[in-house]
Copies of this chain bind each other. A is one copy, B any other.
Amino acid sequence: MSQTKADLLQGTLDMLVLKALGLGSLHGYGIIQRIGQMSEGMLTVEQGSLYPALYRIEQRGWISSKWGTNETGRKAKFYTLTRAGRRQLAVEEASWDMLALAIAKVRQAT
């Protein structure tokens, strides 16, 4: 693992995916790229992590998928955030804030 890249912690990927889709529908490959861009290259999502996650997230009703074609005419599966997904994103962001706050407290404790 390179020095400038953070490992993903279990549980953070869903939030990242939902967040990426919050900016508009995308296919899987595009999600990986968008997360890379949004994090300014600090976060790299592996395909082998993403696709199972997409399946899982869709099962839970937070995203929906539809086959379509991208701008170059190639087939791709497009994922869209559902209303429930938008709610879930808020939940996960709140959880993250809570955890980050708790960790911060621990770190400043004497």
Contacts and interface: CB of A to CB of B under 8 A. Distances in A.
A107 B95 contact: no
A107 to B, nearest CB: 7
Contacts of A96: 103
- In this complex, the interface size class of chain A, counting residues with CB under 8 Å from chain B, is 35 or more
The quantity of this chain's copies bound in the complex is 2
A69 interface: no
A10 B9 CA distance: 6
Contacts of A39: 102-103, 105-106, 109
Interface in A66-102: 93, 95-96, 98-102
Interface of A: 4-12, 15-16, 19-20, 23, 35, 37-40, 42-43, 93, 95-96, 98-103, 105-107, 109-110
17 contacts: A8-B99, A9-B10, A9-B12, A9-B99, A10-B11, A12-B99, A16-B103, A19-B107, A19-B109, A23-B109, A38-B106, A39-B102, A39-B103, A39-B105, A39-B106, A43-B106, A96-B103
